[in-house]
Structure 1
Amino acid sequence: MDLRTIKTFKTIIKLGSFQRAAEELQYVQSTVTTHIQKLESDLGVKLIERGKNLRLTEAGRLFSEKSDSLIKDYDYLNHAMNEFIKGESGVVRLGIMEPTASYRIPLILAPFMQLYPKLQISIQIGNTSILSEMLDNGIIDIAICTTPESGVGSSFEPLFVEKLGLLVHQSHPLAIKEDIYLHNLQNENLLLTTSTCPYRKKLERSLLEKGGSPYLATEIGSMAALKYYVQANFGLAVVPLISVTPLPEGTILKELRDLDSGLITGMLRKKESPPFNSAGERLIAFLRQELLNFE
């Protein structure tokens, strides 16, 4: 049983004649007859009583009723595939790390999705290590993250630098200090993200290299939450500037003079990943351009 024979059957029912069905479907009449014979043979039951006037059997009535949804599903699938081929739809699975996932991507994606509403986008949020693993396992198609530890089997395209600053409570002594260096953080309570976070790794490495240790540490699992703990005077935090714009009330953002430029963020893809359709490629090009120019 195939869809052509079902469509032939439905056309006969609609027009009440093998001949008229053949004309509409642009078949010779023998083809229409063959389709119905094959359909009845596949089902093992007679569907149409031939004669002066065609009449459905009981099985034919049941089959006609149940086959409607099948044809609708097929037509929907066929339409969806045509849209995909034309580049109007598709599925792109993105992996994005913070703070880009919360502070950049929503503003960037909104106008694009208005242009391509049929493109489906899945977004997974995680750190670079997790996203790299998801990319390797085929769970996501592309990652927007910091530079991975290994480039084996993947390509990384740098796009922008995520700048960092020191967020302090307005009552903290460092709030009025003009020039702050990493060694000024000795013995302070630093609010740190998880041990796998590239921002934490960079900070801890810099503290060791430039005299910022020893220090106290309180781990906060969410980067987005750091500013609220500083606001509550729980400690100090080195944060991406974009995540504290505007500043929470009662806090002050300070520059760390000897903390070099922030973390490079870009697009990570598998070297041999299959190409997207045109809608997917438009999305990747759009994200690239917008992330490069994001203010």
Structure 2
Amino acid sequence: MDLRALKTFESIVRLGTFQKAAEELRYAPSTVTLQIQRLEADLGVSLFVREGKRVILTEAGRWLSHEASALLKSIVSLRQTVSEIGVGDAGIIRMAAIEPVASQRVASIVADFCKFRPQVQLTMEVSGSRSLAERVRSGILDFGICVSPPANFKLAFEPLFEEKLGVLLKADHSLAKQSSIATPDLAGQTILLKEQTCIYRELSERIIFQKGQNPFSGIEVGSFHVIRQMVLSGLGIGIVPVYSGLELQSSLVIKPFADIDPTVVIGTVYKDKNSMGKASLMLMNAIQDVCKNSN
């Protein structure tokens, strides 16, 4: 069905004559007549009964008038939405970030972005680097914030910042008085670590094992914030990324390592910028700008 003819039909119904419709649409009267004839031929029914210059809707015309009005309103809405998606003011963003990057760095950037774009629908996942990269590769996610993915994933990776691991201690712990922690200081301590699929767990074990220490205490926890609460309760010490947000004034402190430099590079991971929606690309760029400028 020709949408131009449908719009012409709606104008005739609303204005009452072919002539007024032609004037509003800036068509020649013959063009209006031809469009309606084609529309009637396409539908196989008469839409109007003509009485001089006046037109009266047939039963089929009355039904089409109701449906056409709703359809044309939907098309106006559709055009507007597509236009907003094209400039990034609407659309769907599917992203993910590893923790605690998600809460400590990314959450506020995403919140500010969405406040100014209320039509954007956002899904933000928090997961491990491997799982995140796999979901980006499969197209489930538009982009992610994590460590560099395996080369065989064939994903783009743009570094944002480096994270260092430190030791999270209760403020009254005997090691808390030291300015830094050497790996031998960990001997005999109950150490809380993330699960084995976590990049931070892998990094801490790899480096500390090289120093001849065995950090594994039999306690692994799937959340840095839970580790934080356990340390606060006096269970042991945690190996965590150095974020002030994980510390508590007069209660918890994070001390750097003295003899090792456990560092990991965090960046944006994506498949193809050309296939990303405008809103997703704009948010990813905003995260990159803020993170790079804050280093």
TM-score (norm 1): 0.88
1:51 aligns with 2:51: yes
Aligned-residue offset at 1:199? 0.5
Match of 1:28 in 2: 28
CA RMSD in angstroms comes to 2.5
Q: Match of 2:41, SS?
A: helix
Task: Trace 1:202-241 onto structure 2 (pairs within 5 A).
Answer: 202-213=203-214, 215-241=216-242
Distance 1:17 1:81 in 2: 33
Q: Which residue type is aligned with residue 67 of structure 2?
A: K
More off after superposition, 82-91 vs 8-17: 82-91
Q: Match of 1:162, SS?
A: strand
Q: Which residue type is aligned with residue 23 of structure 2?
A: E
Q: Match of 1:217, SS?
A: coil
| CA-to-aligned-CA distance 1:155-180 (integer Å, 9 cap, x gap) | 21111112322112234332344552
Q: Is the 8 A contact 1:228 1:248 kept in 2?
A: no
Q: Match of 2:218, SS?
A: strand
Match of 1:159 in 2: 160
Distance 1:252 1:88 in 2: 42
1:170 aligns with 2:178: no
| CA-to-aligned-CA distance 1:24-60 (integer Å, 9 cap, x gap) | 2122223322322333333343322222331112222
Distance 1:275 1:136 in 2: 13
Q: Is the 8 A contact 1:188 1:215 kept in 2?
A: no
Aligned-residue offset at 1:249? 5.6
Check 1:86–1:221 CA distance in 2 against 1; reply closer, same or farther (3 A cut): closer
Unpaired segments ≥5 residues, structure 1? none
Check 1:214–1:267 CA distance in 2 against 1; reply closer, same or farther (3 A cut): closer
Task: Trace 1:33-182 onto structure 2 (pairs within 5 A).
Answer: 33-52=33-52, 53-86=54-87, 88-150=89-151, 152-177=153-178, 179-182=180-183
Distance 2:25 2:277 in 1: 32
TM-score (norm 2): 0.88
Check 1:177–1:283 CA distance in 2 against 1; reply closer, same or farther (3 A cut): closer
Q: Is the 8 A contact 1:163 1:262 kept in 2?
A: yes
Query: Number of residues paired by the alignment?
Result: 294
Distance 2:163 2:180 in 1: 21
Match of 1:291 in 2: 291
Check 1:193–1:94 CA distance in 2 against 1; reply closer, same or farther (3 A cut): same
